[in-house]
């Protein structure tokens, strides 16, 4: 028996999730897609039901699990509705817009008595990050000193506003680096590019100190022009391990060598999304949520730290990072 999934949101990510769930994941079938724009929902549904009513989709008995990929501000309400219906929910990042909203989700899940929420930090399933994690966990390269990360978009998406470089983009690094290094952050220093001071803060450098005594440096550049490029290199006492070029092939001609960059994150993380969604479905079918996946608490950590980093960007001071007490 396969799990019936309803997808909410049919933008870039919702359409991609619907495609993955309809064809690329074993043990699942796509039941319905909801979007405020019915024609967009229909296009993503590929013959499954299409609706403009997200709450009706959650209530639909044929929908056994819900994937939320609607605009960030709607996540909180929809995740709470899925929990109230007792349905597993995979929510695109960020889990919610504020720490208070995330805490509500964590509390609602606890009241439900079982793990229902997975946060869509898919990089934890990316083969390159996983290879780095295996190497770092083995300590074969010695203790980690610095993890250098680059997070570049060719151009900020049209829907980008305000502090989204932090709340929508940097949150990926916040999540994947603490997972990769099995540590929490103790402080952050934010340095916006001086020529952009008082302006957009793009690009900006974020330097984290971790409880494990290492550094994590992150460049976020939302308008890097040349393409989408995410890179990480771990510098350890006895060597380094970093990602290879994102393209699988190189072309040589006219005395030069080249490898293409994708236009956005969808091709770069295609495997990660598929493996994440497969792990989610496997977890539902076996009643054992995937061990490595990002939980509601991990979603809270990312949003909570992002809020503090937005403040740190404004003050430009080294800022200690704190988390609320984790409910037991």
Contact residues for ligand ISE, defined by CB under 6 A = 153, 157, 168-169, 172, 265
Cα–Cα distance for residue pair 13/120, rounded to 1 Å: 11
- Give the residue with the Cβ less far from ligand ISE, 38 or 260: 260
| CB nearer ligand ISE, residue 40 or residue 87 | 40
* DSSP code, position 279: H
Kindly state the smallest distance separating residue 204's Cβ from ligand ISE, in Å.
13
On whether the CB atoms of residues 252 and 201 are closer than 8 A, the answer is: no
Q: C-alpha dihedral over 62, 44, 50, 5, to 10 degrees?
A: 10
Q: Which residue is nearest to ligand ISE (CB)?
A: 169
Give Rg (Cα) of the chain: 20
Q: Which is nearer to ligand ISE, 161 or 249 (CB)?
A: 161
Q: By C-beta, is 186 or 264 nearer to ligand ISE?
A: 264
CB burial of residue 310 (10 Å; 0-12, 13-18, 19+): middle
Minimum Å distance from CB 169 to ligand ISE?
3
By three-state DSSP, how is residue 3 classified? strand
By C-beta, is 51 or 168 nearer to ligand ISE? 168
- Residue 266 CB, shortest distance to ligand ISE, in Å, is 9
Q: 112: which residues sit within 8 A by CB, 6+ positions away?
A: 83, 86
Rounded to a whole number of angstroms, the minimum distance from the CB of residue 287 to ligand ISE is 29
Nearest distance, CB of residue 158 and ligand ISE, angstroms: 11
The residue assigned the tokens 């350890």 is: 236
Nearer to ligand ISE, 40 or 172 (CB): 172
Return the SS3 of 185.
strand
Least Å distance, CB 243 to ligand ISE, is 14
């Amino acid at each position: 028996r396969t799990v019936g999934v309803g997808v909410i949101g049919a933008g870039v990510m919702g359409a991609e999730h619907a495609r993955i769930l309809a064809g690329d994941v074993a043990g699942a079938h796509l039941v319905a897609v909801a979007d405020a724009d019915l024609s967009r929902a229909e296009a993503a549904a590929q013959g499954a039901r299409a609706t403009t009513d997200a709450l009706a989709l959650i209530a639909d008995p044929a929908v056994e699990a819900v994937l939320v990929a609607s605009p960030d501000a709607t996540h909180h309400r929809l995740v709470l509705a899925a929990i109230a219906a007792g349905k597993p929910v995979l929510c695109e990042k960020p889990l919610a817009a504020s720490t208070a909203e995330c805490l509500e989700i964590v509390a609602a899940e606890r009241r439900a008595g079982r793990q229902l929420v997975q946060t869509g930090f898919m990089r934890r399933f990316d083969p390159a990050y996983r290879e780095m994690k295996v190497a770092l966990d083995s300590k074969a390269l010695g203790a980690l000193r610095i993890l250098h990360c680059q997070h570049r978009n060719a151009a900020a998406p049209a829907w980008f506003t305000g502090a989204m470089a932090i709340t929508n983009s940097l949150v990926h690094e916040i999540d994947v680096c603490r997972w990769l290094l099995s540590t929490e952050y103790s402080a952050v220093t934010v340095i916006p590019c001086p020529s952009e001071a008082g302006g957009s803060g793009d690009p900006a450098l974020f330097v984290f100190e971790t409880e494990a005594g290492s550094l994590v440096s992150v460049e976020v550049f939302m308008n890097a022009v040349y393409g989408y490029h995410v890179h990480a290199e771990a510098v350890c006492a006895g060597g380094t391990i970093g990602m290879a070029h994102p393209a699988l092939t190189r072309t040589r001609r006219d005395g030069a060598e080249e490898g293409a960059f994708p236009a956005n994150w969808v091709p770069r993380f295609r495997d990660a999304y598929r493996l994440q969604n497969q792990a989610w479905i496997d977890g539902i079918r076996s009643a054992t949520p995937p061990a490595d996946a990002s939980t509601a608490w991990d979603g809270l950590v990312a949003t909570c730290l992002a809020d503090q980093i937005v403040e740190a960007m404004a003050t430009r001071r080294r800022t200690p990072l704190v988390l609320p007490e984790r409910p037991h």
